[in-house]
Chains A and B, each alone.
Chain A
Amino acid sequence: MKKKLMSVLLAGTMVASLAACGESGSAPAATTSDNTTTEATTETKTDAPADNAQADAGSAEAAGGSFDPVRLLNGKPEINDQMQALAAKYLEETGNTLTVETIGGDTNASDELKKMYQADNMPDIFVIEANQAETWDGMLADLSGEEWTTKTEFALNNASMGTIGFPYTVEATALGYNADLLKQAGVDPATLTSPAAWKEACETLDSKKDELGITAVFGWCAEPANLGWSSGTHVFGQYLDAGLKADDTTYIDLLNDGGKIDEARMKAFAEFIGMMNQYSDPALLVDGTYDNQVAGFKDGKYVFITQGNWCVTSPEDVSFECGFAPYAFEDGINTIIAGPPSYWVAYSEGNVDGAKAFFNWCAGDSAQKILVEDAGLVSPFSDCKYEAVNPFYKSMNSYITSGNFSGWHTMLKKDGLQNVTCQVFADYAKGTLDADKFTSTMAQVISNYYAQ
């Protein structure tokens, strides 16, 4: 009898443990409105406001427009704290709840989103890059006609779904420079709009290396394994966009038409990159890291850096003035690439009204204050009165206001192309290819990649 009792008990506990697994697994999907349980990233900070929201939801209704809680999937782990502050502010001002979940570090947000989609656990707002709109075709809400769309030129438009993307930041990439060093060497960055001017500037800077205390002219790193996104996406993007107006899609259209490139333009680009290879720090060029690259620039070891405004975000990081110079591989190129590299979109089967309300609020004064002043982002909205703290902001803004900026069309290339092209940059940097070979190899690998 005792034995029997034991076996029943054991079987019972086993089943109970299984059942417990089943229960917790199904709980998040069961109540999609219950945000506190779906928190994957354990931000205890939001829990408290979320509870409050339920408590004083009544009082909020008076403030105008009460919506169900909205879940936002943030793809920038570095601004997670500021996003939590934004959520708290949103609750305080409108009484509505915003739950921010952050996907961190190297985790690929689009991959995580696919898992969430399969698990029926989609957030209401999530982050996408421009070329991912295709993947979510028909699942994103049309935001056209919303109040914020009149205040920005950076919204993401899609042919089949309308205005789908809310720009939350503007980022720029070009050759970032150290203005103090340039001044010391007597080089005016405004003149760097032709290959000849660049060559001359490089020679001048290179000859004054000791005097300026620099290691090399360029902090340019073509290491492919960890920095492939830099060479394969951002630097390659200069081939696609440099010198073009923001809405000019000539070269990206050519590329997406079966992987064609403009040989003459690529050749000019190759020669420019060749110059960068020549005047770069050999210790950094082939096997450096992002950290070394940025540290070298911050310490004044390099005059130019091949990154964007994200590499130096706080004025305390640098003791000199920063600016952007164009990749002028053809005469007269005077643009930098500027625009939102990624967007927030609203899931059409989620809480669309809540998401729209949040976007309108987010384009407003108090939200922009947090995003610009605390998170260090650059506002895409024309009525934003906050000056970004980013050291590159002044230079960026001068390009944007004078219309000398190109788009981030590099984000529209075929998924994964950067992993192919970055290797060609690396081989060129190593010296196994010359400018002609670089051009022909680039043409070959790109057309092969598109043919697959």
Chain B
Amino acid sequence: MGTFSIGRKTFSFASLIIGIVLTIWGLGVAIAKGGPAYSSRGALIVIGVLLFIAGLYYFPTLKYHRAIINLLFLFPLLFAFLVTVIIPLILGIGYSFTDWNGIRLKGFVGFANYARMFKQASFLWSILITFLFVVFNMILVNVVAFLLALLCTSRIKGLGFFRAAYFLPNLIGGIVLGYIWQFIFSNVVTKFTGTYSMLSDTKTAFLAIIIVYIWQYAGYIMLIYITGLNTIPGDVLEASAIDGANPMQTLFNIKIPMIAPTITICTFLTLTSAFKQFDVNLALTNGTGSVPDFLGNYLTNGTEMLALNIYSTAVINNEYSFGEAKAVLFFIILATVSIIQVRISNKKEVEL
């Protein structure tokens, strides 16, 4: 005892207590929307939190001082994470059990939203084509990106230009890109084919989205592959060359096994981003396209992927809670697929 002066102790405890009181007061009037000092509730909360932190910093302890400091430094990040991710997630799951329409909540409906979405043919169709889209993209983007990476690590001239050129589409936002390609498909491509735009037919429109997506995303994945290829030690390649390995053997027996971790990262990235495809989908086709007979229904959302389906359910059709329920399912699917995928890839890396 006696390590800390009385002054420090009093200061610490006093600021902790005053801090808590001010914060609660501020929050209280904010929630009650009125009361004493309503207009300065922001200042109350801020001063309260500042005092609390000061009190915590000067808290008379040696044992936990380091832990307190660590916590203080982590606080901004944790706070932001809580506000932007955790709380919305919990609220979202909560809303999915209600009949919230974006303005008012009339009551809880239990699992009705969840039961309903599996009866909705257009939603099932969205799930189906999203999976198709993911499979196509995961394979095609990685193959194209890997080939581009091989090209950009070879000794061709103008390497910097090619790298920049392949990467550039990724810098353009998906919406802008969608409109650019919409113009290309309906004004330029039609000049050669002489028919309607690819975008007006479900199958070709789906193909069009895949093309645009690869064009946008392959450059980005290429950069990661380039980094991976550059980390392969030169002596391994040299040794294989001395042993007489031809370029094909080097590629399949040295390079690809050596960049297995990179392949994991890239498949993971393409998988999740293809699942979450939204902006290109919105700008290019807005989900249109007809399917004459799916489960006995004439569908009009032939190219609508999951994310866009959720958006239009909530915002266009004005069914926020139903959209939330779909979003929760979307989250579950995405989480499951990602976990499985990472598990499998990790095992493979160990084996190699």
The reply to whether B69 and A7 form a contact with Cβ atoms under 8 Å apart is yes
Q: Are A225 and B288 in contact (CB under 8 A)?
A: yes
Nearest residue, chain A, Cβ from B302: A423
- Given A23-B46, A224-B288, A444-B298, are A415 and B196 also a contact pair (CB < 8 Å)? no
Is B285's CB under 8 angstroms from A225's CB? yes
- Assuming A286-B197, A430-B196, is B288 touching A19 (CB within 8 A)? no
Question: Which residues of the other chain, A, contact B312 by a CB distance below 8 angstroms?
Answer: 416, 419
Q: Is A401 interfacial (CB-CB < 8 Å)?
A: no
- Are A430 and B200 in contact, CB atoms less than 8 angstroms apart? yes
B320 partner residues in chain A, CB cutoff 8 A: 114
B53 part of interface (Cβ distance < 8 Å) = yes
What are the residues of chain A within 8 A of B221 when measuring CB–CB? none
Please tell me if the beta carbons of A415 and B39 are within 8 angstroms of each other in the complex.
Answer: no
Most chain A beta-carbon contacts within 10 A, residue among B57, B72, B298, B312: B298
Residues of B within 8 A of A (CB): 30, 33, 38-39, 41-43, 45-46, 49-50, 53, 57, 69, 72-73, 75-76, 79, 101-103, 116, 120-121, 182, 186, 190, 196-197, 199-201, 284-290, 292, 297-298, 300-302, 312, 315-318, 320
The answer to whether A19 touches B199, judged by C-beta atoms less than 8 angstroms apart, is no
Residues of B with C-beta under 8 A to A117 = 103
11 A-B pairs in the complex with CB atoms less than 8 angstroms apart: A12-B50, A19-B49, A30-B38, A30-B39, A30-B41, A224-B300, A419-B286, A419-B288, A419-B301, A420-B300, A441-B298
State whether A287 and B197 are in contact (beta carbons under 8 Å apart), knowing that A15-B53, A27-B42, A225-B286 are contacts in the complex. Answer: yes
Interchain CB contact under 8 A, A444 and B297: yes
How near does chain B come to A312, taking the closest CB pair, in angstroms? 24
Contact status of A15 and B290, CB under 8 A, knowing A415-B316, A424-B300:
no
* B-side contacts of A423, CB under 8 Å: 288-290, 300-302
Report if A382 contacts B (CB, 8 A).
no
Q: Chain B residues near A110 (CB, 8 Å)?
A: 318
User: Which residues of chain A have C-beta atoms less than 8 A from B182's C-beta?
Assistant: 225
Can you name the residue of chain B whose Cβ is closest to the Cβ of A24?
A: B42
A246 to chain B minimum Cβ distance, whole angstroms, is 26
Query: Would A108 and B315 be within 8 Å (CB), given that A224-B286, A225-B288, A448-B297 are in contact?
Result: yes
Residue contact A114 to B46, C-beta cutoff 8 Å: no
Which residues of B have CB within 8 Å of A288? 186
Cα-based distance from A31 to B39 in the complex (angstroms): 7
The answer to whether B39 touches A452, judged by C-beta atoms less than 8 angstroms apart, is no
Residues of chain B with a CB closer than 8 A to A108's CB = 315-316
CA distance A223 to B197 in the complex (A): 10
B288 lies within 8 A of A426 (CB): yes
Which of A111, A226, A287 has the most chain B CB within a 10 Å cutoff? A287
A residues less than 8 Å from B199 (CB atoms): 225, 287
Tell me the bound Cα distance from A19 to B76 in angstroms: 11
